[in-house]
Amino acid sequence: MANTDMIEVLRTSMHPYWNPSEAGGIYLLGAVNDDEANGAILLKLLALCPDIAADRPDKWEVLAERLADTARRFFETYELGPGPYKIDNYHAAVAENGELQLNEWGDASIKVPTEASFIFTVTEEHLSLIKSMNIRAYYGYVELMDCKRPYGDMSYFYSDMADALGDSVQRDEEGKPAFSSETEKRYQALHGEMLFAAQAFWDHASLKGR
């Protein structure tokens, strides 16, 4: 199957959801709280990878690696311009009182609209961060954004955000990153918007050059 065909199957079969573990990240899922539906989706995707034997004990982990590679190719070879995009609000079904927990540390939550769909405005900052998302397979799941290191390999992920956004990094006397409270609030807000930004890209991006 051609790369673009596999990308389109993945885009229509699975969707971005938020994971509040550690710093907060994004994973792909077919349907929330529906093991039967998710199992059927994974079987369909496995059938598209005939080189992965259905009887091998680690088939789901191997499939997740394959799908993570497919997701990386998607974000590398597709493009989206800044602007307003309509996205489906399947997040409302898992939100509590209209909110999603952002991370493990109790920072400001992600506000989820009540409408079945809504308009989200993608900015150049969102697109810069999307290009730096740390995509990987993790225990049979596909993470579009790793929860521990969302945008790179720094243990303090605001440093990765600064690099992605082209911001200078202020450092203390020991050479450690020292962001102002205003910068931290800005980065926290941007990080909380990335679920909807990534979803808009997932739903609306087109192959470069088309």
Q: What is the pLDDT of residues 176-208, one digit of tens each?
A: 888 889 999 999 999 999 999 999 999 999 999
pLDDT of residue 155: 78
Letter for the amino acid at 112?
Answer: V
| pLDDT tens profile 128-155 | 999 999 999 999 999 999 999 999 988 7
pLDDT higher than threshold 80 for residue 175: no
Angle formed at CA 133 by CA 130 and CA 137, multiple of 5 degrees = 135
Q: Where are the alpha helices (DSSP H) in 78-180?
A: 124-131, 157-165
Residue 39 contacts residue 46 (beta carbons within 8 Å): no
Whether residue 113 is predicted with pLDDT greater than 70 in this model: the reply is yes
Residue 165 clears pLDDT 70, i.e. is over it: yes
Cα–Cα distance, 49 to 196 (Å, whole number): 29
With tokens 């997932």, the residue in question is 202
The 10s digit of each residue's pLDDT in 32-68 is 888 999 999 999 999 999 999 989 999 999 999 999 9
Whether 23 shows a pLDDT value over 70: the answer reads yes
Kindly give, in sequence order, each residue whose CB lies less than 8 Å from that of residue 41, ignoring residues fewer than 6 positions away: 13, 14, 30, 31
What pTM does this model have? Answer: 0.94
Q: Which residues contact 53 (CB under 8 A, 6 or more apart)?
A: 59
